[in-house]
């Protein structure tokens, strides 16, 4: 009996095994808010591309998406086009399936577009290595022998950013090895029913399962670490805190061993305090200056005042600047032992 797994599920597993587990567990009860929003946006774009009439507010929203992506994505006129057409193919005991948002074929070349509605824009290398993209590309070569080249584009609907991958048929064996290696990783976790969290600052900061993940429990239940109780402040510094978890685990063990060998009376009396120092760095690129002048004219005349901009904007706006490559988060975590 084949085990069905989708390309997006494998992608969630590669991001973090616990993310895969929590989304699957949660999905049986109800869909997460961010998933509902993403599905709605995908449906609106699909309906628009199929020529269906949208309600005025949806049509305006989709027009905004396409205006941000104009001249950044390629949609071929007159090409054979498929919108959300599912596929599947066998892989050992698994049946791999997926639903490309949009696929076109023309003169032996395939053009696949994946609409991304989230806030986290991947870098080029992460895009090149993305398991979902590799599966979509592999399936195209596998089931369409006339295809010699595939263009795969991640199109970010909120920011107008795009990341494009190009693969030739000669890359097929390399892609197959990469997919096989990652499926084996999933198989090991699935067979052993072990989906342990793999905390990292970049992933945890955007994770929809933040509040139910056991990586979160460590911070809330460990009384040796001084953390804020206000939810807003907690979420702001969580991405820095979670990145130090493994280090603090090792430090705590080392301190206990030292006390046991040298100062037994001190066992349990020491404390570990964590502090976070916010530090953002604005890019000096011409593109950044032009963006800031357009977005924040009140802080850019007669010259750009980056400090004033950072002090006045919200965390969401900072995240947007980071995703566009205009801002770098250099915040640091300090550890004090007492």
pLDDT at residue number 236: 45
The pLDDT tens digits of the residues spanning 183-195 come to 999 999 988 888 8
Neighbours of 257 (CB within 10 A): 11
15, pLDDT greater than 80: yes
Higher pLDDT, 36 or 313: 313
Q: Using 50, 70 and 90 to split pLDDT, how confident is the model at 258? A: low
The two structure tokens encoding residue 156: 């970010």
Torsion angles phi and psi, residue 75, rounded to 5? -120, 115
Q: For the chain, which residues make up each domain, given as ranges?
A: 3-192, 201-337
pLDDT at residue number 203: 64
Site of tokens 């530090």: 279
| pLDDT more than 70, % of the chain | 70
Higher pLDDT, 147 or 333: 147
Q: What is the mean pLDDT of residues 154-169?
A: 91
CA distance 9 to 190: 12
- Domain 3-192, what architecture? Alpha-Beta Complex (3.90)
Q: 46: helix, coil or strand?
A: helix
CA distance 119 to 301: 30
Higher pLDDT, 329 or 6: 6
pLDDT at residue number 231: 41
Q: Using 50, 70 and 90 to split pLDDT, how confident is the model at 198? A: confident
pLDDT at residue number 48: 87
pLDDT at residue number 237: 45
CA distance 48 to 202: 33
Give the containing element (helix H, strand E) for 153.
Answer: strand 149-156
pLDDT at residue number 254: 60
Q: Are strands 102-106 and 3-6 parallel, antiparallel or unpaired?
A: unpaired
pLDDT at residue number 104: 94
Q: Which of 182-196, 242-256, 275-289 holds the top average pLDDT? A: 182-196
Q: What is the mean pLDDT of residues 62-74?
A: 87
* 41-55, 241-255, 293-307: segment of lowest average pLDDT: 241-255
Q: Are strands 94-98 and 87-91 parallel, antiparallel or unpaired?
A: antiparallel
What pTM value is reported for the model? 0.63
């Amino acid at each position: 009996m084949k085990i069905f797994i989708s390309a997006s599920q494998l992608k969630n597993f590669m991001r973090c095994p616990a993310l895969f587990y929590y989304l699957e567990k949660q999905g049986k009860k109800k869909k997460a808010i961010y998933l509902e929003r993403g599905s709605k946006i995908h449906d609106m774009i699909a309906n628009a591309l199929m020529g269906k009439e949208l309600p005025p507010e949806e049509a305006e929203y989709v027009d905004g998406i396409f205006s941000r992506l104009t001249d950044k994505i390629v949609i071929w006129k007159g090409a054979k086009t498929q919108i959300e057409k599912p596929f599947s193919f066998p892989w050992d005991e698994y049946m791999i399936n997926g639903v490309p948002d949009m696929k076109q074929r023309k003169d032996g070349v395939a053009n696949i577009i994946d609409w991304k509605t989230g806030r986290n824009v991947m870098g080029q290398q992460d895009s090149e290595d993305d398991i979902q993209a590799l599966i979509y590309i592999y399936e195209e070569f596998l089931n369409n022998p006339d295809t010699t080249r595939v263009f795969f584009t991640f199109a970010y609907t909120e920011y107008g950013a795009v990341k494009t991958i190009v693969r030739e048929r000669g890359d097929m064996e390399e892609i197959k090895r990469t997919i096989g290696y990652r499926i084996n990783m999933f198989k090991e976790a699935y067979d052993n029913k072990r989906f342990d969290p793999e905390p990292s600052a970049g992933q945890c900061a955007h994770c929809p399962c933040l509040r139910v993940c056991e990586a979160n429990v460590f911070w809330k239940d460990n009384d040796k670490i001084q953390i804020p109780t206000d939810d807003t402040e907690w979420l702001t510094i969580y991405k820095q805190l979670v990145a130090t978890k493994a280090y603090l685990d090792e430090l705590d063990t080392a301190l206990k061993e030292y006390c046991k060998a040298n100062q037994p009376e001190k066992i349990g009396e020491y404390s570990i305090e964590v502090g976070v120092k916010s530090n953002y760095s604005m890019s000096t690129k011409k593109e950044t200056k032009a963006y800031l002048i357009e977005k924040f004219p009140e802080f850019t005349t007669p010259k750009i005042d980056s400090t004033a901009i950072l002090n006045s904007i919200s965390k969401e706006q900072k995240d947007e600047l980071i995703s566009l490559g205009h801002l770098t988060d250099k915040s640091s975590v300090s550890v004090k032992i007492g």
